[in-house]
């Protein structure tokens, strides 16, 4: 459906109740076993905040990790587990030090996902972090990797949903990492709906040829994948290098980026951004991003 014909997505107000929730500080990362079942739902009932205590990542799912009991050799294309986190807060998660040469396990201070499906509904992410330096490591709050095994496949038909969720929300609540203070991914399609991103930071420097610094709120990289932002707000996010609100790069220019009924303001320029699109750095299909009923300034 073309963006101009979609149902409007009203911009949401910040959800601020999470700081009053009961906080549970984990002493070890919670990990999803791949043979648990088709669906895994973690529901905090708007009463729970899971904390990493500033020391550990909070939640981990990886269908290609032998320790998590893979259910198929085709681990990158599995539909299960379908993980949903909802009505919950993730606070002070920290994945610093998990990114090492030769692996892709870094990033995702609060949540790391590779394989299966993933959805976030009415969740809050405060003060989560990952490595401050690195060309691709990212996701102070969330990192998702999607690597279709066949060239004809892409992540477009299996997007990650981020719905009615808050990343930051105040000056001392923001998430940060080398890239993608809020979200970071490789090859992953997203539908970001009615969500708020403020005060998130990409703190690396030198961009992809150096030590990161791209995508203050969202960092997307890959080939054929889509980013669909609807009814959302991005304010006061910052990247030292490119795209203080969003860094979107489709290397072969086959990916699409749409912005509908959204407000992106006061995301100050880092080292570079796309002309005429304050806070954004975009390499995508021709005439993208497709912007409908939105403010970008």
> What's the pLDDT tens digit per position in 87-127?
999 999 999 999 877 668 899 999 999 999 999 999 999 99
Q: Say what the pLDDT of residue 180 is.
A: 98
Closest by CA to 200, choosing from 170, 175, 221, is 175
Q: How far apart are CA 224 and CA 188, in angstroms?
A: 9
- Predicted local distance difference test score (pLDDT) of residue 18: 43
- pLDDT at position 151 is 56
pTM surpassing 0.75?
yes
| Spans of the chain below 70 pLDDT | 1-20, 102-103, 148-153
Measured CA to CA, the distance from residue 27 to residue 79 in angstroms comes to 29
CA atoms of 113 and 89, how far apart (whole Å): 17
Residues linked to residue 16 through DSSP beta bridges, in sequence order:
none
The pLDDT value recorded for residue 17 is 42
According to the model, what pLDDT value does residue 74 have? 83
The residues near 185 (Cβ < 8 Å, ≥ 6 apart) are 138, 139, 143, 144, 145, 146, 160, 219, 220, 221, 222
CB-based contact 184:190 (threshold 8 Å)? no
In this prediction, residue 101 carries a pLDDT of 74
CA atoms of 290 and 287, how far apart (whole Å): 7
pLDDT at position 78 is: 86
- Which tokens hold the place of 89? 């807060």
Task: Retrieve residue 166's tokens.
Answer: 């808050």
Give buried/exposed letters for 100-136 (b at 16+ CB in 10 A, else e). Answer: eeeebbbbbbbbbbbbbbbbbbbbbbbbbbbbbbbbb
Can you say how many angstroms the Cα of residue 254 is from the centroid of all Cα atoms in its chain?
A: 20
- pLDDT given for residue 152 in this prediction: 53
Do 116 and 80 touch, CB atoms closer than 8 A? yes
The two structure tokens encoding residue 130 = 């990952």
pLDDT, position 71: 77
The pLDDT value recorded for residue 102 is: 65
């Amino acid at each position: 459906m073309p963006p101009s014909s979609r149902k409007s997505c009203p911009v949401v107000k910040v959800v601020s109740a999470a700081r009053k929730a009961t906080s549970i500080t984990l002493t070890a990362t919670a990990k999803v076993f791949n043979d648990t079942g088709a669906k895994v739902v973690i529901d905090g009932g708007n009463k729970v905040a899971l904390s990493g205590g500033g020391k550990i990542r909070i939640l981990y799912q990886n269908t290609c990790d032998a320790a998590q009991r893979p259910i198929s050799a085709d681990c990158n294309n599995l539909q299960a587990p379908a993980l949903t986190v909802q009505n919950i807060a993730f606070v002070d998660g920290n994945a610093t030090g998990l990114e090492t040469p030769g692996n892709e396990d870094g990033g995702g201070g609060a949540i790391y996902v590779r394989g299966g499906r993933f959805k976030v509904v009415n969740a809050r992410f405060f003060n989560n972090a990952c490595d401050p330096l690195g060309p691709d490591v990212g996701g102070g709050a969330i990192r998702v990797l999607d690597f279709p095994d066949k060239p004809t496949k892409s992540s477009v038909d299996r997007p990650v949903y981020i719905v009615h969720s808050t990343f930051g929300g105040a000056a001392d609540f923001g998430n940060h990492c080398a890239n993608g203070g809020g979200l970071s991914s490789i090859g992953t399609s997203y539908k970001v709906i009615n969500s708020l991103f403020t005060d998130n930071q990409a703190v690396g420097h030198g961009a992809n040829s150096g030590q990161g610094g791209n995508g203050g709120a969202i960092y997307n990289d890959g080939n054929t994948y889509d980013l669909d932002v609807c009814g959302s707000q991005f304010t006061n996010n910052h990247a030292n290098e490119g795209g203080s609100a969003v860094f979107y790069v489709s290397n072969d220019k086959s990916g699409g980026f749409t912005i509908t009924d959204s407000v992106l303001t006061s995301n100050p320029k880092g080292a570079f951004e796309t002309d005429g699109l304050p806070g954004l750095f975009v390499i995508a299909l021709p005439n993208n991003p497709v912007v409908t009923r939105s403010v970008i300034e």
